[in-house]
A and B are shown apart, each in its own frame.
Chain A
Amino acid sequence: MSLRDLPGARERRVATGGIELCVIELGDAARPTIVLVHGYPDSKEVWTQVARQLAEQWHVVLYDVRGHGRSTAPVPLRGGFTLEKLTDDFLAVADAVSPDRPVHVVGHDWGSVQAWEFATVSRTEGRIASFTSMSGPSLDHFGHWIKQRMTRPTPRRVGQLLGQGAKSWYVYMLHTPVLPELAWRGPLGKRWPRILERLEKVPPGDYPTPSLPDDAAHGAWLYRDNVRSRLRRPRADAFAHVPVQLITPTGDIFLSEQLYDGLDAWVPQLTRRSLPAKHWVPRTRPDQLASWIGEFAAVNETALRDGVPVRDTAPQGAYADRFGGQLVLVTGAAGGIGRATAFAFAEAGARVVVVDRDAEGASRTAELARLIGAPAAWAETVDVSDEQAMEKLAEKVAAEYGIVDVLVNNAGIGISGSFLETSTEEWRRVLDVNLWGVIHGCRLFGKQMADRGQGGHIVNTASAAAYQPSRALPAYSTSKAAVLMLSECLRAELAEKSIGVSAICPGIVNTNITATTRFAGTDAAEEQRLRKRTSKLYGMRNYPPEKVADAILRAVVRNQAVVPVTPESHGARFLSRLSPGALRAAARLKPPL
């Protein structure tokens, strides 16, 4: 669906500096305004999905940059695309659509490069309420960044320079005369949609628009009119006078993350976000963008009203840039590792769904999660081994809270005792929870993630027992080995959907699991004794579940496949590959209980 066909879309033309801009408005004009500025080689249509979502709550305004889409081009082209003129255009649009209130600006790629100019020159002061930047640095900051690295060239800095230099190959190409125009109007323009689809995983559809060859040819002047002059003489006063939200796609092949290392010096109120995605995030991650843009604009509206700076209210936990506002579901989160994981995500500002069969423990986790930074947290009482209950849960979560961004299948139970003494009933129970629980979670929520097509991550809690055989834990180890292999296979399958899968193998962690473990072949009294005894041993080892939680968040950020956590788990993993014979010999030892 194109922009103009969106319900309630209004089109108007704004005259500025001898040209005419095509402007589209969506949503209720009485609400605060968000202006979306597109990049190169794009037109405002790049924002279609993002705009549609934002329009439910905001007055959304999009325009074609001069020389692009249905806006007219300056004559002559040379000198018609300077940042000063682009700022004139923005102010003309802002004055037309929101004459008495500052607007929230959002820029992608060259739209962001421009918007940095808007956010750092004094003549726009009071017209901008906030700025969300993605994949487009300020040319002035970039200029200083290069200068610093040239004047003080440590090996690391030279590496960064060369790295970014290599990523900027296309910028040099665009500076050659005529050739880019010929390429875009010829073969490149024709192949571009396929290239985006193949390399950037941009879903096919009504984008790019037929105006692409002209947009791309005109837009070459964005580079020619600004890049060389600004990089050579960057402004010394390019300080942002508005709060800035910087969204960095970590897989961007045009921009390296180090580009923003010193940004705090230029931006007094900076919120960082990172997103595992490539360059064209408005097409590949519209839901996440719409949610971050809306949230940031909302926070700043409140801040404007109450006079509280944004920084004070932002979540402080590790990886807040990555998980802020995301939806995370953790099973078995009424205690132990699951609860600690829910808390770690909460501290990072995620919304958390706490699933456990223990209702009281789950609601306690949710309550505390809200107190430490989760914008929302819900407790759901579900037995993960119950297929129908899990299906109901998946429907409810999708309908009421949204599509899960990170799923942690953590619920599990312990069972110990020799194989010959383990009954089929006991086998069934442990496989039902430890394996089937994970299968249900992956099937239901993994499918929702895949259908959305905007990435995600699944974490399954396996165990060191998955690769460390032992005569004491045959059933448990079997269930966890299955979880490990399931995770590896799923990882292979879901990679093309940008969904990561990690298996966590904790080791010996001090939780309540030992107090509920079934010891096959023992009566109640003996089982009680063994539970106490193992709890005591685990207590003496005293490895805290919080550290496992940290490993889980790190595994998601780094998209790690298999993650041993404690030293003994690392050791077992190492031995299982280096000298499995040693592990087999150890497996024969009877545990001293």
Chain B
Amino acid sequence: MVSRVKDERAPELQGFREVQRLAYACAEAVAARLKPGVTEREAARMQREWLRERGVRDWFHLPFAWFGDRTAFAGFKVPLQFFPTDRRLEPGMPFILDMAPVYKGFTADIGYSGCLGLHPLHDRLLADLEAHRALILSEVRERRPLREIYEDVERLMIRQGYANRHRAYPFGVIAHKVDRVAERRWSPHVFGFGTQSLKGLLSDAVHGHRDGWSPLWSPYRFSDHPPQPGLWAVEPHLGFRGTGAKFEEILVVTDSRDPEQSAFWLDDDLPHVRRWAEERVAA
């Protein structure tokens, strides 16, 4: 499996790239249809329908949508609070769409941050995410232990003046492994997570446990190991006084000795990356 991901043009990477692009296309299409009054539940359903219409049958997890201060997970205590609510979108509100479809057996997990109207603070948060994308890549290439990278990302967030909000995710993870999923006619989900994908994650956890690594990239001791080859859905999430922003996309890690080849973002043609490039041109 390790050698599969080494070549950037490998058909397998193409499969992941395709589903990741599909998911981002869905996010952009749904975001464009968000109007004042739309609820989180409706936004989640819009994502689901859009992807089903295009052939998605299974999920790593069902789509989420967070509006307003829920983008910063304000007051989140139990995981159930992640599920979409009847909160309505209002002008000036930030929102996040987060979905993880499985398409032709390939999984993506993406996060898309937007805002209904002008919101200079939200713009600032989005712009400040760029440094995190660069930091994570460079430290993974240095083969630093995942836990230390986690701490460095957190330190950068605090220096930027923000709070680390991915800490609110189960196990406080900044990333988790994704993989191919066997296509089954029937794949039920529990608590929004696809059973096939959970099975994969669980088996990784079992194997990893034996070999001293974990498919969850967390601040805890079980992440005290160098990056493990494979595909990681990385999701740094900034929060600042009721406004949150994140991106989520796949980082490819290989066992190559060449730093450039040892880790790279699966795709650089994504909305947030394009946005940063446009801002640089404008500046």
Contact = CB atoms under 8 A, between A and B. Distances in A.
B159 A371 contact: no
B161 interface: yes
A512 B158 contact: yes
A365 B161 contact: yes
Nearest to B120: A371
A368 interface: yes
A364 B156 CA distance: 12
Contacts of A339: 161
A368 B161 CA distance: 8
B158 A372 contact: no
Interface size range of chain A in the complex: 10 to 19
A371 B119 CA distance: 9
B161 A372 contact: no
Contact of B121 (A335, A365, A371, A512): A371
B71 to A, nearest CB: 15
Interface string A359-371: 0010011011001
A131 interface: no
A215 interface: no
Nearest to B243: A372
Contacts of A519: none
A81 interface: no
Contacts of A364: 159-161
B168 to A, nearest CB: 13
Given A343-B241, A347-B241, A371 B124 contact: yes
Interface in B207-228: none
B123 to A, nearest CB: 9
Nearest to B219: A539
Contact of B158 (A335, A343, A347, A371): A335
A500 B172 CA distance: 43
Contacts of B158: 335, 512
B82 interface: no
B272 to A, nearest CB: 19
B276 interface: no
A480 to B, nearest CB: 24
Q: Which of A343, A347, A372 has the most chain B CB atoms closer than 10 A to its own CB?
A: A372
A159 B124 CA distance: 50
B87 to A, nearest CB: 18
B121 A361 contact: no
Interface string B39-78: 0000000000000000000000000000000000000000
A368 B124 contact: yes
Contacts of A335: 158-159
Given A343-B241, A347-B241, A372-B241, A361 B159 contact: yes
Nearest to A344: B241
Contacts of A371: 120-121, 124
A512 B241 CA distance: 19
Contacts of B121: 368, 371-372
Contacts of B169: none
A110 to B, nearest CB: 41
A512 B161 CA distance: 12
Interface string A335-361: 100010001000100000000000001
Contacts of A512: 158
B264 interface: no
Nearest to A368: B161
Contacts of B240: 368, 372
A381 B90 CA distance: 39
Contacts of B161: 339, 343, 364-365, 368
A361 B156 CA distance: 12
Nearest to B162: A368
Contacts of A347: 241
B86 to A, nearest CB: 23
A368 B127 CA distance: 13
A365 B162 CA distance: 10
A367 B121 CA distance: 10
A347 B241 CA distance: 10
B130 to A, nearest CB: 16
Interface in A495-544: 512
A367 B240 CA distance: 13
A397 B273 CA distance: 41
A347 B242 CA distance: 12
A371 B161 CA distance: 12
Contacts of B241: 343, 347, 372
B122 to A, nearest CB: 9
A568 to B, nearest CB: 23
Contacts of A368: 121, 124, 161, 240
A304 to B, nearest CB: 22
A335 B124 CA distance: 18
B150 to A, nearest CB: 13
- The winner among B124, B160, B161 for most chain A CB atoms within 10 A is B161
A335 B163 CA distance: 12
8 closest A-B pairs by CB: A371-B121, A368-B161, A364-B161, A371-B120, A371-B124, A372-B241, A372-B121, A365-B161
Interface of A: 335, 339, 343, 347, 361, 364-365, 367-368, 371-372, 512
23 contacts: A335-B158, A335-B159, A339-B161, A343-B161, A343-B241, A347-B241, A361-B159, A364-B159, A364-B160, A364-B161, A365-B161, A367-B124, A368-B121, A368-B124, A368-B161, A368-B240, A371-B120, A371-B121, A371-B124, A372-B121, A372-B240, A372-B241, A512-B158
Given A367-B124, A368-B240, 15 more contacts: A335-B159, A343-B161, A347-B241, A364-B159, A364-B161, A365-B161, A368-B121, A368-B124, A368-B161, A371-B121, A371-B124, A372-B121, A372-B240, A372-B241, A512-B158
